[in-house]
Amino acid sequence: MKKLMGFVFFFLLLAIPVCVVAQAAGGSDAPDKADVVKFLDLMHARAQMEQVLSGMVKQMKSGAEDTFKQKVPDATPEQLAKVDKLFDTMFAALPMDDLLNAIVPIYQKHLTKADLAAVTAFYSSPAGQKILKELPAIMSESMQAGGEIGQKALAAKSEELDRQLADLARESKKQ
């Protein structure tokens, strides 16, 4: 469940620039791939995705450590290090180029060439550059806040969820 929440936050944060500027493109005036790639470069999309991924891994590690500590209350530092290592290697080989290439057609679908030119002009301005400079910290802090809220909500509902799952399992066995 915590992994799912992390992925949801990841894709919501990745979609922020799209949601800010998205309009139905319609017609054949969609931007070409080079225009979108130029925009993604201007947006530092790769660095943002890596930042989001790093924050997501950090949240997942924290959740996994907490879960492990619940199951093994006297966990050693070595055991906790092994838990951390699982997450260090899990996302190490994520193909960033594939992820970036996958979002190009999404921008092409939702933006016209004129939309993309206007947004590019904005992000090239001092105000746009300020947003780009601060966005990684905003995303990281947002993920931290969202992760904490998600963990609290999950902890509050965890006992109820466990009970409901146990009830479903009992019903399943009866049938």
* Residue with more model confidence, 137 or 9: 137
Q: How far is Cα 27 from Cα 144, in angstroms, rounded to an integer?
A: 40
Residue 127 lies inside a defined structural domain of this protein: yes
Residue 86 lies inside a defined structural domain of this protein: yes
* Residue with more model confidence, 127 or 83: 127
Instruction: Return the residue matching tokens 């209350």.
Output: 73
- Does residue 119 surpass a pLDDT of 50? yes
Percentage of residues of the chain with pLDDT beyond 90: 27
Residue 128, judged by CB atoms within 10 A of its CB (0-12, 13-18, 19+), counts as: middle
Residue 148 lies inside a defined structural domain of this protein: yes
- Does residue 145 surpass a pLDDT of 80? yes
Range(s) of the domain holding residue 139: 2-18+33-174
Dump pLDDT digits (tens) for 130-139.
Answer: 998 898 789 8
Beta carbons within 8 Å of 61's beta carbon, 6+ residues apart: 83, 84, 87
| pLDDT-derived band at 14, boundaries 50, 70, 90 | low
Mean pLDDT of all residues in the chain? 80
Into how many domains does the chain fold?
1
Residue 26 lies inside a defined structural domain of this protein: no
Residue 155 lies inside a defined structural domain of this protein: yes
Residue 23 lies inside a defined structural domain of this protein: no
pLDDT at 25: 41
> Any idea how long the chain is?
175
Supply the pTM of this predicted model. Answer: 0.55
Alpha carbons within 13 A on the beta-carbon side of 151: 16
Dump pLDDT digits (tens) for 44-99.
Answer: 888 878 877 887 888 888 888 888 888 888 988 898 888 888 877 777 777 888 88
Q: How far is Cα 125 from Cα 71, in angstroms, rounded to an integer?
A: 52
Residue 68 lies inside a defined structural domain of this protein: yes
- Does residue 26 surpass a pLDDT of 70? no
Q: How far is Cα 128 from Cα 79, in angstroms, rounded to an integer?
A: 45
Contact 142, 59 (CB under 8 A): no
Residue 27 lies inside a defined structural domain of this protein: no
